Homo-oligomer: A and B are copies of this chain.
Amino acid sequence: MRMSVGDYLLKRLGEIGAHYLFGVPGDYNLWFLEQAERSNHIEFVGCCNELNAAYAADGSARICGISALVTTYGVGELSAIGAVAGAYAEGVPIVCIIGAPPLGAMEGHALVHHTLGDGNFVNMLNCHREFSVAQARIEPANARYEIDRVLRCCWLKKRPVYLQLPSDVAATIIEAGDASLELCPPISDPTQLSIAIEQIVNRVADANAPAILLDGDVGRFGLTQSLIRFIQTHSIPFATLPPAKALIDETHDLYLGTYRGGGSSPETRDAVEAADCLVCVGVRFTDTSTGFFSHQLQLNQLVCIRAFDVMIGTMYLSAVVGHELLNGLIGAVPPRPKRILPPRAKPRVRRVKSGQVLTQESFWQRMQHFIRINDIVLTDVGTCLAGVAGLEMPKGVTVIGQPLWAATGYGLPALLGTLLEAPSRRQILFIGDGAFQATAQEISTILGRGLRAIIFLINNYGYTIERLILGGASAGYNNVNQWRYAEAISFFDTNGRASSYRVGTEGELEAALTEASRSESLVLIEVVMNRMDAPKALVHFARKCAEFNYLQGPAAPGIASINLAGW
């Protein structure tokens, strides 16, 4: 079958499961956008700027499994690169498609706009190479196999990939073949797999108090269902690292809570650190996941299962596929007696005191009972991330945030992506005022498409997380300009469907929640709180962060060994 390069790429994007192409038009990508407009495979969603478009693609990929971004060369792609790097850090697959100057202009080192004007056409590719698992400049001759190779890598590694599509190449006709994209899923080496199963079976069988610790990669690489079966079959209690929040039902009777090193509850910490066999699945021991490396784990008691390899104590096996290993373990480990954990305290229902000024504590206590089964909960960084982390999520809730990359302003454009992918689920965003200001304009795309969500905008007059780390309430640089946030709806939404509230007391919040629950449109609730008020966990985190960044010299103990422990 013959078709244009652009149409071939769109067809492949559809085959790999992408629904949307987020981006911004630019003169080098217009032909491809024309092709996208006519495509049955994918829908173009124009955003206000490229950074926001990439965050939206990130949100979309978190629900759908993969997404796509289109920008123009240079100016466009570099505006997006921070979000693409964030997707790499957080393990989110995005296909980045860059409309580039005509191939001949690039090969001829022409001095064209959107470049440095020096004939250099490798600098953009060099940058993106740092934040993608495969890259290609598409030429007519290599289009078919390069597109296939790069998309396959995206699917396999669950990380961004980068395609330069020269403006003139988009329209070029190629022989495209008839076959769909072959994904070539990896299999385990049989010998390595049986060694791994045997070793882990022995460790689990010999253990008095085994435990499981899981991280975000479990969800990304589709290990969740196998892991749940493993947990249930063998009655092994499990804890989550913060990025795996709510990946497995937090009301499960074997759930130990969130483990974050010294920042954990004593019960969770004891159960994890005292485990004589700790099966880690998809884990990374990062600073934010471990209370700044305050985790105390013994390497020789760890089994670290990852998507495509495994480490058992100090033995490393490079060709063991995670889901095959988990499935193999389910039958191979002799079933353990059913373990009953002491029941955890249920979150307290607090009586509303109408006139009482809202605090972080009372707000998040209320949110505990506002969030419902199957909600999608998005959170930006700072007080919001800490607040969400402290809630016990009802069954089926999906939590989306950036615990590692931690970009201010991620949440709002990401919401655009999640709303498009799952319009029938209730979606709630928690975002601070500083974060809202970073990417505020994207609310207009959400409003323009008539999408429905509840946005809690925590207005504490600036960057409270930074104030807690250094400078306190007096540091002027942590203040942001005041906006009339509740007017955002009127300013950005000419359809006039959405509504907004500004609340400062428990009673006002209650009234707004009632309206939000009834509304069929977007609702923005500005929650005014004190500038130094924060969830307790954030105060603890900020103190550890200040120690790490500012008091701990280069020769401080422990730093050199972090990477090994981080495996």
Contact = CB atoms under 8 A, between A and B. Distances in A.
Contact of A492 (B50, B110, B127, B481): B481
A151 B109 CA distance: 30
Contacts of A102: 548-549, 552-554, 559
A104 B490 contact: no
Given A49-B437, A168-B549, A287-B113, A560 B477 contact: no
Interface string A438-475: 11110011011000000000000001011001110001
A23 to B, nearest CB: 9
A487 interface: yes
A105 interface: yes
A351 interface: no
Which of A48, A51, A490, A553 has the most CB atoms of chain B within a 10 A radius of its CB?
A48
Given A110-B287, A559-B110, A471 B49 contact: no
Nearest to A140: B554
A418 to B, nearest CB: 19
A263 to B, nearest CB: 14
A559 B108 contact: yes
B115 A89 contact: yes
Given A79-B82, A288-B113, A484-B491, A552 B168 contact: yes
A478 interface: yes
A89 B104 contact: no
A167 to B, nearest CB: 4
Given A102-B552, A447-B481, A562-B109, A491 B491 contact: yes
Q: How many copies does the complex hold?
A: 2
B49 A466 contact: no
Interface in A107-125: 107-117, 119-120, 123-124
A19 interface: no
Interface string A24-56: 111110110110110000001010111100000
A109 to B, nearest CB: 4
A205 interface: no
Contact of A49 (B114, B439, B484, B494): B439
Given A119-B563, A119-B566, A405-B74, A27 B545 contact: yes
Interface stretch (A370-378, A406-414, A510-518, A523-531): A406-414
Contact of A406 (B113, B126, B437, B481): B113
A163 interface: no
A110 B30 contact: no
A355 B198 CA distance: 87
Interface residues of A, number: 114
B79 A33 contact: no
A27 B549 contact: yes
Contacts of A439: 49
Nearest to A563: B109
Given A82-B78, A113-B287, A444 B437 contact: yes
A483 B444 contact: yes
Given A447-B481, A549-B28, A555 B127 contact: no
A403 B115 CA distance: 11
Contact of A555 (B104, B123, B466): B104
Contacts of A478: 25
A30 B550 CA distance: 9
A103 B559 CA distance: 10
B444 A104 contact: no
Contacts of A492: 481, 483
Contact of A81 (B44, B82, B562): B82
A552 B104 contact: yes
A471 B113 contact: no
Contacts of A105: 548, 559, 562
Contact of A286 (B113, B479, B549): B113
Contacts of A288: 113
B117 A284 contact: yes
A332 interface: no
Given A123-B130, A550-B168, A104 B559 contact: yes
B470 A31 contact: yes
A116 B88 contact: yes
A353 B251 CA distance: 72
Interface string A87-104: 011000000000001111
A274 interface: no
21 contacts: A36-B477, A49-B439, A74-B82, A75-B407, A78-B85, A81-B82, A89-B116, A104-B553, A104-B556, A104-B560, A105-B559, A105-B562, A108-B559, A110-B562, A117-B284, A123-B131, A444-B483, A447-B481, A483-B491, A483-B492, A483-B494
Give the 7 A-B CB pairs with smallest separation, nearest first: A104-B554, A78-B82, A123-B130, A30-B470, A167-B549, A448-B481, A108-B559
Given A36-B477, A120-B130, A484-B494, 9 more contacts: A27-B469, A33-B475, A37-B475, A89-B116, A102-B549, A108-B562, A111-B563, A448-B482, A487-B490
